[in-house]
Amino acid sequence: MINRPTIPGSFQSPFICRQCISLISSRINRRYISSRRRPDKQKLPNFPARTRFAPSPTGFLHLGSLRTALYNYLLAKRTGGQFILRIEDTDKKRTVPGATKRLYDDLRWAGLQWDEGPEVDGPFGPYKQSERTDFYSEHARKLLDNGHGYRCFCTPERLRELADHRSALGIATDYDRKCAHIPEEEADERAENGEPFVIRLLAPDLYPEWSDLVYGQIGKQSLRSRTGESAWQDPILLKSDGQPTYHLANVVDDHLMNITHVIRGTEWISSTHKHQALYNAFGWEPPVYAHVGLLVDGNQQKLSKRDRATDLAFYKSNGYFPETVVNFLALLGWSHQEKSDFFPLKELVEKFSPKFTKGNATVSFGKLEYLQTKYATKRINESGAGFDEIVEQAVEAARQRYQRFADSHPDFHDYIVKVIKADVNSFKTVPEFIHRNAHFFEPLPYETSKKPLSDASLAPQTIGGEIHAELDKIANDVWTHENINDAVQKTVQQLLDKVQPKHSAKLKGKVSERIHRYLRVALADGSYGPPNITTATLLGKQVVLKRLNGAAIEDKCKDVEDWWKEALSEDAGSLDSIRHIDLAPKPL
**Any idea which residues carry the catalytic annotation?**
305
Do 276 and 208 touch, CB atoms closer than 8 A?
A: yes
3 state DSSP class of 211: strand
The CA-atom distances, in angstroms, between 587 and each of 464, 484, 553, 556 are 8, 21, 6, 11
Mapping DSSP onto H, E and C, the string for 398-455 reads: HHHHCHHHHHHCCCHHHHHHHHHHHCCCCCCCHHHHHHHCHHHCCCCHHHHHCCCCCC
Residues 150 and 201 sit within 8 Å (Cβ to Cβ): no
As a whole number of angstroms, the distance between CA 84 and CA 114 comes to 6
Q: Where are the beta strands (DSSP E) in 198-252?
A: 198-201, 210-212, 216-218, 236-238
User: Which ranges in 215-286 belong to alpha helices (H)?
Assistant: 246-256, 269-282
Contact 391, 420 (CB under 8 A): yes
Between CA 223 and CA 232, with CA 229 as vertex, the angle to 5 degrees is: 25
Report the DSSP beta bridge partners of residue 295.
Answer: 361
Cα–Cα distance for residue pair 209/276, rounded to 1 Å: 8
Neighbours of 9 (CB within 10 A): 8
Cα 8 from Cα 206, distance rounded (Å)? 12
The pairing of strands 198-201 and 82-85 is unpaired
Asked if 107 contacts 84 with a C-beta cutoff of 8 angstroms, the reply is no
The secondary structure element, H or E, covering residue 82 is: strand 82-85
First-to-final CA distance of the chain: 106
Q: How many CB atoms sit inside 10 A of residue 261's CB?
A: 22
Nearest to residue 177, comparing CAs of 207, 201, 210?
201
371, amino acid identity: L
Cite the DSSP H helix spans in 79-197.
99-109, 133-145, 156-168, 184-192
With beta carbons less than 8 A apart as the criterion, state whether 224 and 232 touch: yes
